Amino acid sequence: RWFAHGHSGLATSERDVTILRDRAITHSICTLEFESHRPLYEWFLDALPVPAHPRQYEFSRLNLNYTITSKRKLKQLVDEKHVHGWDDPRMSTLSGFRRRGYTPKSIRNFCEMVGTNRSDGVVDFGMLEFSIRDDLDHTAPRAMCVLRPLKVVITNYPEGQVENLELPRHPKEDMGVRALPFAREIYIDRDDFMEEPPKGYKRLEPAGEVRLRGSYVIRADEAIKDADGNIVELRCSYDPETLGKNPEGRKVKGVIHWVPAAASVECEVRLYDRLFRSANPEKAEDSASFLDNINPDSLQVLTGCRAEPSLGNAQPEDRFQFEREGYFVADLKDSKPGQPVFNRTVTLRDSWGQ
């Protein structure tokens, strides 16, 4: 049996003595800073009436870059309201990781990858993100959510008609299907249309075509703008012969996500990123305090997002992959069926360096 003692490095309280006596503890583990306590620890064990003499082992702490683990500094972040409590999804606490959407399996797998040793090193935060991506890739059902909605009117689609399309909940795992109504008015992401796109752009542009995920190919015919020149609506046309197949004689490269305008669910989406800009926020050369390294873009709150109908019944801690956006979890505290709030757990790929 193993006994992990507290920061004193000594199992000398009445309760600890009882544990040692009644449970015959054989091993004690702690981090390297308590190695110097071992002689006194063993002296106490020799003097105590216990049936076993636990062997103490020390190991290095698990240090992650772009984080801090000092409880005093974490408390300072909370007290000074740099974060929204101990369970803020940006905090390096178990409650924060849970609310961010990290799974127990992903954390265990991460610890197995890192291993246990006596060398005092720093682990790249990207390894933790890789672990949660790997877990959610197999377990998170797919869904579509438009974070920055742009209304699209498909002018040649019959007015009042609605088609109930079926899309798989996962491309590889057997998770069944979800229903997605297709109608004349839909939303796409504002970033998926550009009037003057750069070279290599594979989304929607004037007179260009793109496929809607699991649906038809559409062509952008006209952009409607407001008095300030901002695009507020697209007028498009669709090819009715392209449901589930490519158009004959034409090559359509881009695929974008969408949601039905009438049947979609309004939601709030919180985009979380690393709390600190520097890999070592406590010792950055250009900072007098670790607070100077707080990433001002570590949280973006997007309201008015539109999610596909199946997400309207999401329960707190339900996890999804929003196609083309990342992995998200329904917030443990604020999300309610009919009024979902989603936290981004991690992006689809590591974009931090970019």
How far is 13 from 17, CA to CA, in rounded Å? 6
Residue finishing a domain among 260, 286, 314: 260
pLDDT in tens, 119-171: 878 899 999 999 999 999 999 999 999 999 999 999 999 999 999 999 999 99
Domain membership of residue 235 (yes or no) is: yes
Burial level of 234, CB count in 10 A (0-12/13-18/19+)? Answer: buried
How far is 58 from 213, CA to CA, in rounded Å? 53
Domain membership of residue 19 (yes or no) is: yes
pLDDT in tens, 194-226: 999 998 899 999 999 999 999 999 999 999 999
CA 98-108-341 angle, to 5 degrees, is 20
pLDDT in tens, 31-42: 888 888 889 888
Q: What is the 3-state secondary structure (H, E, C) of the chain?
A: CEEECCCCCCCCCHHHHHHHHHHCCCEEEEEHHHHHHHHHHHHHHHHCCCCCCCEEEEECCCEECCCCCCHHHHHHHHHCCCCCCCCCCCCCCHHHHHHHCCCHHHHHHHHHHHCCCCCCCEECHHHHHHHHHHHHHHHCCEECEECCEEEEEECCCCCCCCEEEEEECCCCCCCCEEEEEECCEEEEEHHHECCCCCCCCCCECECCEEEECCCCEEEEEEEEECCCCCEEEEEEEEECCCCCCCCCCCCCCCEECEEECCCCEEEEEEEECCCECCCCCCCCCCCCCHHHHECCCCEEEEEEEEECHHHHHCCCCCEEEECCCEEEEECCCCCECCECEEEEEECCCCCCCC
CATH code: domain of residue 240? 2.40.240.10
Domain membership of residue 156 (yes or no) is: yes
The token pair that represents 274 in the structure block: 């690393």
Strand partners of residue 339 = 336
Domain membership of residue 15 (yes or no) is: yes
The pLDDT score that the predictor gives to residue 282 is 80
The pLDDT score that the predictor gives to residue 240 is 95
Residue finishing a domain among 59, 77, 106: 59
Q: Is there a single domain that holds both residue 156 and residue 53?
A: no
> Across all residues in the chain, what is the average pLDDT?
89
Domain membership of residue 238 (yes or no) is: yes
How far is 259 from 267, CA to CA, in rounded Å? 13
Q: How many domains does the chain have?
A: 2
By DSSP bridging, strand 2-4 and strand 27-31 are parallel
Domain membership of residue 249 (yes or no) is: yes
Domain membership of residue 140 (yes or no) is: no
Residue finishing a domain among 43, 59, 75: 59
The pLDDT score that the predictor gives to residue 16 is 64
CATH code: domain of residue 42? 3.40.50.620
Residue located via tokens 């004690």: 28
Q: Please give the residue range of the domain that contains residue 18.
A: 2-59
Domain membership of residue 233 (yes or no) is: yes
